[in-house]
Structure 1
Amino acid sequence: MNRIPAIGLGTWQNTNPEQCAESVRLALESGYTHADTAQFYDNERAVGEGIATASVPREDVFVATKLHPEQTGLAYDEVLDGVDDSLRRLGVDTLDLLYVHWPVGNYDAAETLPAFDELVDRGTVDHVGVSNFSPDLLDEALDVLDAPLFAHQVEMHPLLQQETLLEHARKHDYYQVAYSPLAQGGAFDVPEVARIAKRRGVSPAQVCLAWLLSKKNVTAVPKATSEAHIADNRAALDLALTSAEVESIDSIRRTERLIEQEGAPWSA
Structure 2
Amino acid sequence: MSYPIKLSPHFKTKSGKDITIGFGTGTRWKRPLLKSGKNYSEELVDQILLAIDSGFNHIDTAEVYETQTSVGEALKRTKVPREDLWITTKYNGGFKTFKAHSKSGKDSIDKALKELGVDYIDLFLIHSPFFTTELSHGHTLEDIWRDIIEAKKEGKIREIGISNAAISHLERLFAASPSKEFYPVVNQIEFHPFLQNQSKDIVKYSQDHNILVEAFSPLSPITKAETNNLESNLKNLAEKYNKTEAQILLRYTLQKGILPITTSANENRLKQSLDLYNFELSKEEVDEIDKLGRENPFRLFFHEEFKE
- Mapped to 1, the partners of 2:141 and 2:183 lie a distance apart of 14
For residues 222 and 61 of structure 1, do their structure 2 counterparts lie closer, same or farther at Cα, with a shift above 3 Å needed? Answer: same
- Mapped to 1, the partners of 2:205 and 2:67 lie a distance apart of 31
Where does 1:108-147 land on structure 2 (aligned, <5 Å)?
108-146=140-178, 147=182
Letter of the aligned partner of 2:129 in structure 1? Answer: P
Where does 1:96-115 land on structure 2 (aligned, <5 Å)?
96-105=122-131, 106=133, 108-115=140-147
1:201 to 222, 239, 242: 242
1:165 to 181, 198, 202: 202
Letter of the aligned partner of 1:128 in structure 2? Answer: I
- Mapped to 1, the partners of 2:219 and 2:99 lie a distance apart of 30
Identity of aligned residues (%): 25
Structure 1 or 2: more helix by fraction:
1
TM-score w.r.t. structure 1 length? 0.90
User: Structure 1 stretch 182-191 or stretch 60-69: which is displaced more?
Assistant: 182-191
Q: Give ranges in structure 2 of 5+ residues lacking alignment.
A: 1-8, 13-18, 32-40, 134-138
1:213 to 2:254 alignment: yes
Residue 11 of structure 1 corresponds to: 25
What's the RMSD between the two structures over aligned residues?
2.4
- Mapped to 2, the partners of 1:209 and 1:150 lie a distance apart of 21
CA deviation after TM superposition for structure 1 residue 144, in Å: 1.3
- Mapped to 2, the partners of 1:37 and 1:184 lie a distance apart of 23
Residue 256 of structure 1 corresponds to: 298
- Mapped to 2, the partners of 1:51 and 1:249 lie a distance apart of 38
1:93 to 2:129 alignment: no
CA deviation after TM superposition for structure 1 residue 207, in Å: 0.4
Letter of the aligned partner of 1:9 in structure 2? Answer: F
SS of 2:89's equivalent in the other structure is strand
Q: Does the Cα contact within 8 Å between 1:73 and 1:79 map onto a contact in 2?
A: no
TM-score w.r.t. structure 2 length? 0.79
CA deviation after TM superposition for structure 1 residue 184, in Å: 7.1
For residues 67 and 32 of structure 1, do their structure 2 counterparts lie closer, same or farther at Cα, with a shift above 3 Å needed? Answer: same
1:73 to 2:100 alignment: yes
- Mapped to 1, the partners of 2:224 and 2:240 lie a distance apart of 16
Q: Give ranges in structure 1 of 5+ residues lacking alignment.
A: none
Q: How many residues align?
A: 264
Query: Which whole-Å deviations, capped at 9, do the CAs of 1:15-59 have from their partners, x for residues lacking one?
Result: 351221111111112221100000111111111222222221100
Larger-Rg structure: 2
